[in-house]
Structures are given as structure tokens and as C-alpha cells.
Structure 1
């Protein structure tokens, strides 16, 4: 069943809407954690090759995550574009996950190489989640 409204909102499905709103919540929660209770852990993911203060990078990325999560929930007419921006954001922060793995930095209970490697596998899933939940449905979806 397709869901749409008369304000030229692109059609979607109930399942994609639920997935989009769940991703919105994940982004807002992650952003808040960047700013409030996990700032130090997130600093472990900032590659040392970036010539910026790690805490500033963490705070900026947290703010971006909150903004993207909020936009994803309320700007439904722009959701396809926002989904692509979120996917690009997930790609942009992926080097931080790689740096945490390559430099064996402990954070978020990721205190073994195996756990840090498993984290790397989640990034493509996040990218796919952002794109699928915001995409226009195909005739078979």
C-alpha cells in the first residue's frame, strides 16, 4: 500500500516510513551521545590525520546527526534528497571507524580487533538503510 498526501509528497510505503522514522531516532540519539555522554569515546574514532581538534569534530558531527535526524522526520517531501545526504554522511565518517580499527583504539566496548572489525560491517548497512527508507518505492515494493 502506498502512502502519499496532496501536498506533492513523494509516495512511500508503511514499511519504509517506519524504517525512516527509526533511522531518524537513531541519528538524533547518536548525535546527542556525541554531545553529552560519549564525547570521549567518539574522539577515539577521529583520525589523527585530520588537522582539527577531535572534540570539535565530535561535537560538529553530533550536531549534524541531530539535524539530519530531525530533517528526516519532518521534511518528508525532501526525504529522498535527505536520504542521499545521510548516506553521504555515513560514507564521510567511515574513515573514523577504519582509524579506530587500524589504530586499535578502544571505545564503546570495542576493545578487540574483532569487535572493531565487526563495526566496520555495519556502515554499509547504515548506508543501505538511509537509501532504502527514503527511496521512492518500485512497483514491486
Structure 2
């Protein structure tokens, strides 16, 4: 089961990363916090995070002996991007069908699930 969940996570990360780079770049910009946009262009943040997601997703499959370390890095990544989800909710930014306060608020509870999924599926 852990292997299946890890591969599913890996595929999801690669898919999400590709969507950052191609068809959903504008949508992802709604999740970039303003403070990050002050440091670098919001589109650059989206592209960089997409590249990181592709690398982490591919690493989950390509580097099985390092899966625990990669899992911790990916969990930290999910924590690091969480302020973007909070800001999307707090500033009422629509994106990915999250067009109401309730939907944006509900999305906040998915991030801890991602962290738990990552840590569970990558532990030995």
C-alpha cells in the first residue's frame, strides 16, 4: 500500500509541477503570497515551485533508497507553500474552482493531509 501511495504521490507531484509550467500558471499565481511577489515575480515563483514539484515527484520514484529523506523534504515543501493557501483564502483570491470563502477555507485542511500522506508513504 505504501508503494502505491508513494507512486501516486510522485505522479501527482509531476502532474502538478507540469501544470505550474504550462496550462495552469495563471491559476497558481492566485496562491503566491504578496510577500513572495515582492521578492520575485509571481510567475517566476510559480515556475520555480513547479520545477521543484517535478524534481521531488520524480525523485520519489527514481531514488527509492532516499525516499525517507525526499519525503521529509517534500513534507517541508508542503508546509512552506501553505502560506499561499492561507493568503488565497484571506484575500479571497479565486483559482482552481476555489471561488467561495467556504471552498478556499476547506482547501486549507487538505495541506495537512498531503504532509501526512507524504510522511506515511515514504517511511521505511
User: Shorter chain as normaliser: what TM range?
Assistant: over 0.9
* Aligned pairs for 1:97-136 within 5 A: 97-136=85-124
The match for 2:35 among 43, 49, 55 is: 49
Residue 74 of structure 1 deviates from its aligned partner by 1.2
* Distance (Å, rounded) in 1 between the aligned partners of 2:94 and 2:110: 17
**4+ runs of 1 displaced by more than 6 Å?**
none
Aligned-residue RMSD, C-alpha: 0.5
The match for 1:90 among 75, 78, 86 is: 78
TM-score (norm 1): 0.85
The runs of 5 or more residues in structure 2 that have no matched partner are: none
1:22 maps to 2:8 = yes
Residue 91 of structure 1 deviates from its aligned partner by 0.3
Bigger share in helix = 2
The match for 1:60 among 48, 52, 59 is: 48
* Distance (Å, rounded) in 2 between the aligned partners of 1:112 and 1:101: 9
* Distance (Å, rounded) in 2 between the aligned partners of 1:66 and 1:87: 14
The runs of 5 or more residues in structure 1 that have no matched partner are: 1-14, 137-141
TM-score (norm 2): 0.97
* Distance (Å, rounded) in 2 between the aligned partners of 1:115 and 1:47: 18
* Distance (Å, rounded) in 2 between the aligned partners of 1:122 and 1:20: 17
- Secondary structure of 2:18's partner? helix
* Distance (Å, rounded) in 2 between the aligned partners of 1:49 and 1:63: 20
Q: Which has the larger radius of gyration?
A: 1
